[in-house]
Structure 1
């Protein structure tokens, strides 16, 4: 301020600035008092927050101790390192004997040898590997195929097979397939089209029945029986439609359009025409999922098919036999005429080579040496005798004394149809077989076998076989696909590491008493820490000084609530012999803390862990079996309450009337639509003229048991030329045409946008930029799209050239997809709209039965939220009236009643006490059908539960007492800081006023002084003038 620029009291001699400071300081004492109060509140709040942290730890320990599984921990021990075990809380206490006969192993397969791992193989087609489709193009190399196989080993339906290329040498490269999963099932390979697997040498040319039954065979498993097999497998080039042999029947099948149901109908139609007993039925496979279906063909075990249809269905499978190492002589001998190939019976003297006689004579010798498959050597000299034939040499080579048939790894010599000497290892797989034959031609002949080189490299297609684990548990023989077995004994996981017949491993499962003691000790320690804090805060020293909360009545009250909860005693009817902490050896000490007698605690836990659990946790029990305790909320009050039922819960049900035995309609089937109210899914059943009641029941129950994955399909097709050739993944973007034969004009710079939501609801927002349409392919675009939608949904270009998106799991889906192009280059690229052609759904619990010759439908669940809606859709003439079931909505009734005389709300069979009553939040399940007074429900809260409630009331972030105190303190601080600000503003103005007044006085004094000085200076002049 202007006034502050003057020096204080230069004329008056008074230091008025110091005087003003003293006045202001005197008037600032209220600020100091307020600041002291703020410091005390902040210190108090910090102390309460420290207390809150201790109570939060106590609450966590209480929650862990009062939970239903707090005393369920188990220990599991094994008498041998060959078997390790772990036990969950639900594992029964006891002992078991385990004997391991065989470990589960994983299958490993190998291909033929290829000279260049990165060269185009010229193979094209599709195959399935553990149900996942792999497409191969002619430009793919061995490395590319390995990459494609690994590409399907991802997501929720990963194949479980890893592919790698092993380089044995610079010109010997092999594809290796290794199953990630153990078990006899191993690597399931299906040759769909193009013969890729056989060309790679992973499968041989033999075929065998895959899933043999006692009177026929089963197909592979399929997601449902109503969708085309090609669509279910996502095939873009399924086997061509054609005839297959099923027993004596010839049945034409087309997997691109036919479902399992269609195939069964076609087989049965042919069987009927032929008067054959062969029958095909679509059957469920409950072990693989409620909706999974298989085709069961009975009446024959003979299946033939040259086109891959039955192999794709899973009735036939390719062989995985090994390859024997084979040697062949470079020379192919002819007979005496030099025209026809020599045979084993051709005499050596009549042999010709290249049309010229070899001149072999008696007495000529052959020096023969080599190694057998195991590397053992052999050698001898063969002397030609009169009349000897090629078979004579073969017999000498096959000697079991010193020839190929001697030793443990034998081989066999023979003469081929081309007149060559052939040596074949008698064992498949890798071999060190070799042979050298030197013709000495002592009589001037020209006999020469040439180099005997490898004509077939010995190898194992199945490098290691997949095998199930074999074991016995308590004398019961088991087979499992994995060495980790969790379903043999409830709650017990068994890990197999080694074993042999006769080695019995003892396994013990017991209560984990040490874990129980540790949890209880943690609870007591947490309480003691909070009690110690309270004690040190409340106490004062001899001078009356204490902590920031010394003498705090609120803290004292909080501590009292916690101590009261700790000292709770359960009612005798609930507690048994353990009604208070002291009964466990947990006693309160003089300082308010609790001590634990570990020996007594362990004894109580070993004797009756259930009673210990009731002492700490929440317990509820109905007086009759129809009353089941479900749970409570924090507001629920412990006690015994009578249960009065005024209405028992019911399930939705409809019983038809007037059905005459068969459905009456015209030749076009009607549709019965049944909507499951709980899930919102709709199930459609075809009703055909002549259907019996059992036919209709079977159709309904089959449909209800069928879960579906959601499928979306583009409305527009993509073609690779103007004459209707469907586009594939290898089609270049510049070669895309529409259904009218017009090129879509995809140009560099075009941007395709993929938008929508994934199956789980995440946002899809990805772009694919066209840089060079003459080299970029549809497959590259689809790869970007697949990456955008994630592994839960598979996107592909189907056999009709439409983009198709199929969820990999059944059930409801949030999947949506839109594909747009900005067509910046002036083109017309579009896939149309992408809409659901099949809604995803789970199975339904709605069941159809025959009740007195009438159709009865019943929902699985109880209550008003469970049930079904029935409607009909006429195919031609509406015959639905003949079924005797009305189109309407049918729901069940919710249970109604009271608990302890207090109002309660029912939902299905669940009855829950209403708010603002002692039974608020008490939930029970009434499974009976009677009404009236049906029994009582007793609810108790143990010590840990009560401590948890007490602690929660203090530390809850939603209105907890400590937060309220801290927030009130902050409000007080805010108010005081506001008052301080007001006082400081007022004192600043006061200071300014005082300074101005002193300045004014100083100014006036200066003016007076100036006048005085003037007068004094003027006085001599004035006196002179007077003279």
Structure 2
């Protein structure tokens, strides 16, 4: 503030003096860099500069270096984990000759022996593509003892990290490098073999593009331009008083816009002849006969497609308002949508996030109450405020330098867009326009193109999963070579995957085999138990039969004893 020139009473008037903001400016290695923020992230890769104070007379030297201690710690961690595994394997295979005791239950197990062999074979393997003096672990200070455990010479390893850092990285990591104009390494998988491969390009990738035939240098024409790409649609109204630059700006503004999914009901609620609002009391709605306790039910799906349902009960039609229903809807959607009434008295449900959304919504008023919100959805062309959610479209409106309008895909490859218009006064034609994916071979092996990326197909002996990017425009050329190095760490990862993979790994196979044997043994035990039970039942039956026979014999014995006793008494009486 500065003092004013006028006085009002005894109080002086003060007027505001506005100072315009300025971009931050900093000189880095002789290059002046400006930024609208005091946090600069896009100048030095991986470095954020936070500007705290202005001082044009001060020069700050910034030194950026590798954190070698972190690298060394990671290598130690790798060695430690390997040694833990090998110590366990050794303990299982140990044997005490004095006590004749085996080390563990896996003693002599063929699968564990294969695991040990796979892991230890990597330790002395020379890594293809790495400087010969650094191609084996032992050459950089990581040696193997007679128990197949790793030991680190920290002085030697630390020295090489200082002087030959890239060689150490190549020894451990998987990496790819390219030689050739427009050719770059993109990615590889565990199916890719180490080696150097020639890349041949049959067809360079192209962009989908259409160029108008009318010179718009003097101005445009009245036209509604509809452009679709995938699930996204842009509608741009062009007028005859717009310049070519304004036409491009209008098109690009719509391409860059992001929209949230917005669902609008097709029935208006009225209050005394005017559009109802969130504050409208239920009893004041025109044409309705709502009563206390009426329930309004609703259902739908969330942004991800999950089912949603809920209900709202009117407690008091004389005091409760529509806002209570709207709040209940938002609660059912866990706050991911907003529910409101628009200026026309229609219900509106809007996703809080921009982009593609699967939200849907339906609502039913109490039967016979006269309350209806109608279908709540997106109605293209209805001009009711409803719209499909979408992200920015990867298209650009530009010109060819001669006044002709150009619509071009930002992406290369077979992605497409469709143009629809009425008058054709912009010189464009209706139709679908597509680009071409890159086509070619890697090492003479078949490859699949997607945009600018060429990938060796599954099953290739050397290049399966190897992906390269070609940004050039030449066709039918040898674009250059790709050199793939597979370091120790990646070899271990591949080996462990081969051991543990749930589909093809031999440990899961061994587990399934053992489970099969266990099941077979359980079946045998079950069969033996069944036989024993049958044998027991037979023995019991025979024992019962024997008991019955013994009872009969006992009874007969007692009868005979009685007969003999009676006969003896008769003889005694006769004599």
Shift of 1:815: 2.9
Shift of 1:846: 3.1
Please name the residue that 1:550 is paired with: 107
Shift of 1:685: 3.1
SS at match of 2:122: helix
Map 1:439-458; keep pairs closer than 5 Å. Answer: none
Please name the residue that 2:84 is paired with: 529
User: Are the counterparts in 2 of residues 674 and 682 from structure 1 also a CA contact under 8 Å?
Assistant: yes
Please name the residue that 2:18 is paired with: none
Confirm or deny that 1:834 pairs with 2:376: yes
Shift of 1:602: 2.1
Shift of 1:590: 1.1
Map 1:345-364; keep pairs closer than 5 Å. Answer: none
Gap change, CA 1:796 and 1:951, over 3 Å in 2:
same
Map 1:925-944; keep pairs closer than 5 Å. Answer: 925-930=469-474, 931-944=476-489
1:733, 1:789 → 2: CA distance?
Answer: 23
TM value normalised by structure 1: 0.49
The CA deviation string for residues 519-538 of structure 1, in whole angstroms up to 9 with x for no partner, is 11111111111111111111
Q: 2:65 aligns with which of 510, 525, 532?
A: 510
Gap change, CA 1:468 and 1:643, over 3 Å in 2:
closer
Confirm or deny that 1:990 pairs with 2:535: yes
Shift of 1:965: 1.3
The CA deviation string for residues 148-184 of structure 1, in whole angstroms up to 9 with x for no partner, is xxxxxxxxxxxxxxxxxxxxxxxxxxxxxxxxxxxxx
Gap change, CA 1:626 and 1:479, over 3 Å in 2:
closer
Please name the residue that 1:967 is paired with: 512
SS at match of 1:951: helix
Gap change, CA 1:983 and 1:711, over 3 Å in 2:
closer
RMSD (Å), alpha carbons:
3.8
Shift of 1:1006: 5.5
Shift of 1:886: 2.6
2:547, 2:327 → 1: CA distance?
Answer: 91
Shift of 1:906: 1.1
Deviates more, 1:919-928 or 1:496-505: 496-505
Q: 1:563 aligns with which of 114, 120, 123?
A: 120
Please name the residue that 2:453 is paired with: 910
Confirm or deny that 1:945 pairs with 2:490: yes
Map 1:484-883; keep pairs closer than 5 Å. Answer: 490-493=45-48, 509-542=64-97, 543-546=99-102, 547-571=104-128, 573-575=129-131, 577-657=133-213, 669-676=222-229, 679-688=230-239, 696-722=247-273, 724=274, 726-737=275-286, 742=287, 744-789=288-333, 791-823=335-367, 826-836=368-378, 837-841=386-390, 842-850=392-400, 852-864=402-414, 866-873=415-422, 879-880=423-424, 882-883=425-426
Gap change, CA 1:471 and 1:600, over 3 Å in 2:
farther
2:512, 2:297 → 1: CA distance?
Answer: 52
1:767, 1:655 → 2: CA distance?
Answer: 54
SS at match of 1:764: strand
The CA deviation string for residues 185-229 of structure 1, in whole angstroms up to 9 with x for no partner, is xxxxxxxxxxxxxxxxxxxxxxxxxxxxxxxxxxxxxxxxxxxxx
Gap change, CA 1:502 and 1:765, over 3 Å in 2:
farther
Please name the residue that 2:435 is paired with: 892
Gap change, CA 1:505 and 1:898, over 3 Å in 2:
closer
User: Are the counterparts in 1 of residues 181 and 480 from structure 2 also a CA contact under 8 Å?
Assistant: no
Gap change, CA 1:1007 and 1:806, over 3 Å in 2:
closer
1:562, 1:811 → 2: CA distance?
Answer: 48
Please name the residue that 1:437 is paired with: none
Shift of 1:620: 1.1
Shift of 1:593: 0.4
Shift of 1:832: 2.4
SS at match of 1:672: strand
TM value normalised by structure 2: 0.83
2:46, 2:479 → 1: CA distance?
Answer: 35
User: Are the counterparts in 2 of residues 793 and 807 from structure 1 also a CA contact under 8 Å?
Assistant: yes
- Give the number of the structure with larger relative contact order, counting CA–CA contacts within 8 Å between residues 6 or more apart: 2
Point out the structure with max Rg over C-alpha. 1
Please name the residue that 2:4 is paired with: none
The CA deviation string for residues 970-991 of structure 1, in whole angstroms up to 9 with x for no partner, is 2111111111121122122223
The CA deviation string for residues 776-819 of structure 1, in whole angstroms up to 9 with x for no partner, is 22333333333344555433333333333444554333232323
SS at match of 2:433: strand
SS at match of 2:92: helix
1:832, 1:979 → 2: CA distance?
Answer: 68
1:619, 1:780 → 2: CA distance?
Answer: 60
2:138, 2:435 → 1: CA distance?
Answer: 50
User: Are the counterparts in 2 of residues 751 and 769 from structure 1 also a CA contact under 8 Å?
Assistant: yes
Deviates more, 1:996-1005 or 1:638-647: 996-1005
The CA deviation string for residues 395-447 of structure 1, in whole angstroms up to 9 with x for no partner, is xxxxxxxxxxxxxxxxxxx997xxxxx8x7999xxxxxxxxxxxxxxxxxxxx
The CA deviation string for residues 13-63 of structure 1, in whole angstroms up to 9 with x for no partner, is xxxxxxxxxxxxxxxxxxxxxxxxxxxxxxxxxxxxxxxxxxxxxxxxxxx
Shift of 1:1010: 5.3
1:629, 1:710 → 2: CA distance?
Answer: 39
2:248, 2:40 → 1: CA distance?
Answer: 39
1:1001, 1:925 → 2: CA distance?
Answer: 91
Q: Tell me the number of residue pairs that the alignment of Structure 1 and Structure 2 aligns.
A: 550
User: Are the counterparts in 1 of residues 111 and 507 from structure 2 also a CA contact under 8 Å?
Assistant: no
User: Are the counterparts in 2 of residues 579 and 615 from structure 1 also a CA contact under 8 Å?
Assistant: yes
User: Are the counterparts in 2 of residues 675 and 681 from structure 1 also a CA contact under 8 Å?
Assistant: yes
1:468, 1:804 → 2: CA distance?
Answer: 41
